[in-house]
Amino acid sequence: MTIDLKTVKHISKLARISLEEKKAEKLANDMNSIFEFIEKLNELKTENVEPLTSIAETTLRFREDKITSDNIREKILKNSPEKNDDFFVVPKVVE
Amino acid sequence: MTEITSLSLFELIKNIKEKNISSNEVAKSFIDRSEKSKKLNAYVTENFENCLKLSKEFDNKPNFDLKLPGIPIAVKDLFCTNEVRTTAGSNILNNFVPSYESTVTQNIWNEGGILLGKLNCDEFAMGSSNETSFFGNVQNPIAKDLVPGGSSGGSSSALAANLTPITIGTDTGGSIRQPASFTGTVGLKPTYGSCSRYGIVAFASSLDQAGPMSKDVKDSSILLEVISSFDKKDSTSIDFQRNNYSSELTRNIKGIKIGIPKEYRVDGMPGEIESLWKKGIEYAKDCGAEIIDISLPHTSYALPTYYIVAPAEASSNLARYDGVKYGLRSSGKSLIDMYEKTRSEGFGEEVKRRIMIGTYVLSSGYYDAYYLKAQKVRQLIKQDFDQAYNKVDAILTPSTPSSAFKIGEKSNDPVSMYLNDIFTVPVNLAGLPGISIPAGVDKNNYPLGLQIIGKPFDEQTVLNIAYSMEEKINYKNNITDWWME
């Protein structure tokens, strides 16, 4: 199997990473060599194997649904690239 | 007296408790040496002034009952530290100042540790040489232009160069053990669920685990005791009875059964790794251990499995970096355009590569062929270890298939870089504890490490075997301070 340029561009859209034409080609090459390496898994028959979804053999714990942090709004907003009073600002999304 | 910076953690604690030295003197010594060692590029952010202030506060009101009384410690820049910049080695977090503290670092401060600074690492811990960091390469104090390993490369470099008495790293596929091996130091990856992941910048959540890095095994046992804790803030933290690792540490490992997995004799492994391993087996026998040949048949499938599971989880974890709430933002015509430019400019090449692989293997139509398949093979790899542990108490392998390589030597070939983690990755996939201890040198006098892998939650046995073998091996780093003028 080979990953072509079109696929790379599609994946970069899904991953929300803009990609220059030149870089896309290099990335396609890298991905192909990595997938060639990954294809080794096809040697194994795994029809009857249960997938391992969690290494910790415990069920996830529940917690009470209550607020545990103090009022941290200002602290959180301090890291935002652009803010307006109590809000994060993003480029306009509604025309 | 020996220089303060070359003392082990254990010796430092003893001297502070006996009031031979003050916390402030210790802090000054490490800061002074760090100032003279900028060429190593081990630090991303220094916390020197604050460290001096806090060490004085400790000396004015000392509490010698603490486990790390007034000890300055630099940590990998993957741990969120309250009010201290945390970058994860990435441009996208270049200006990020957390408003909270990771549980592991909080545990250290609670026991009297004082933050010296934040140490360089591969971007989002994705790398084996520290070359993917936005903040530049880190030098290995062993020799010029040699990589310190990765991803905890700043940690291993700072530790080996005596810029910090101990440190903590994180290990997703070998990121503590491989850099420890490359720098002649000790690095322990605990059982998955031992140390809280809360406040650690996430890479691959089912594999990530924090652990101690130190100059000797005893120091790692002291630090593990501090950082291993059950934490409600981490949904996969495990509530088990933790040992008093340092006080239970013993060199008596008589009758312990150590397995030697034949599948770790990989093609193309240098002869010196093979002979190091043989020597290691002899050392283990000398310590009183019984050596048993075992088989871990799915070993060669571990790396391909890892390179599906880890990127898949990474692509999901790194989706949060969108330029909205924190971190870098690039300008764009629309919201989507802003996202795409931010992520393109904010992430480095290796991180983008892994996000792309992860996105691909999770995308519609490919999930079963890749991600589900990898989870099934991961089950087989774990079963290999389960079966081996019916016969043995621990497993001995080399830590890495080679010694440290030159900066730039492998950076153009991702697959050859990935092969570095061939002996460490299976341990993460199976969630087991593993330690790397220095065990010898290669023909260039570069350090080589041996890995001891244990049963889940049995860090004590791993530490005991390492402690016992360490005495027999009697390894000493030969560091010439070549980077100082």
For chain A, give every domain's residue range.
5-43
Domain parsing of chain B, residue ranges? 4-259+390-473
Q: Which two tokens stand for residue B199?
A: 């406040």
The 10s digit of each residue's pLDDT in B359-385 is 999 998 999 999 999 999 999 999 999
What does pTM read for this prediction? Answer: 0.97
Interface check for A53 against chain B (CB to CB < 8 A): the answer is yes
In sequence order, the 6+-apart residues with CB closer than 8 A to the CB of B122 are B89, B128, B129, B130, B131, B132, B133, B150, B151, B153, B175, B350
Look at residue A1 and give its three-state secondary structure.
coil
Give me the residue label for tokens 């999901």: B316
Give DSSP secondary structure letters for B239-264.
------TTTT--S--TT-EEEEEGGG
For an interface test with A, give the residue of B309, B357, B362, B364 to mutate (most A CBs within 10 A): B357
- The ipTM assigned to this model is 0.95
Pairwise CB contact (< 8 Å): B301 & A44: yes
Nearest to A15 among B328, B338, B356 (CB): B356
- A5-43 has which CATH code? 1.10.20
Does A1 have pLDDT greater than 70?
Answer: no
Nearest to A15 among B315, B324, B370 (CB): B315
State the catalytic residues of B.
Answer: 76, 151, 175
Interface check for B198 against chain A (CB to CB < 8 A): the answer is no
> At A55, is the pLDDT very low, low, confident or very high (cuts 50, 70, 90)?
confident
* Res B401: pLDDT: 93
Number of A–B residue contacts, CB under 8 Å: 158
Helix (H) and strand (E) counts in chain A: 3, 2
CATH class of segment(s) B4-259+390-473: alpha beta
Does A56 have pLDDT greater than 80?
Answer: no
CA distance A84 to chain B (A): 12
The 10s digit of each residue's pLDDT in B125-181 is 999 999 999 999 999 999 999 999 999 999 999 999 999 999 999 999 999 999 999
CA distance B366 to chain A (A): 12
Amino acid present at B1: M
Distance CA(B236)–CA(A58), nearest Å, equals 8
Interface check for B377 against chain A (CB to CB < 8 A): the answer is yes
**Touching A: B residues 26-65, CB under 8 Å:** none
**Chain B residues touching A15 at Cβ < 8 A:** 315, 343, 355-356, 359
**Cα angle B122, B123, B124; round to 5:** 110
The 10s digit of each residue's pLDDT in B246-282 is 999 999 999 999 999 999 998 888 899 999 999 999 9
Interface check for A1 against chain B (CB to CB < 8 A): the answer is no
Distance CA(A83)–CA(A79), nearest Å, equals 9
Distance CA(A23)–CA(B239), nearest Å, equals 46
Classify strands B72-76 and B114-119 as parallel, antiparallel or unpaired. parallel
CA distance B82 to chain A (A): 11
- Stretches where chain B sits below pLDDT 70 are 1, 485
Class of residue B372 by CB neighbours under 10 A (exposed 0-12, middle 13-18, buried 19+): middle
Interface check for A51 against chain B (CB to CB < 8 A): the answer is yes
Pairwise CB contact (< 8 Å): B356 & A82: no
In sequence order, the 6+-apart residues with CB closer than 8 A to the CB of B362 are B312, B315, B316, B370, B371
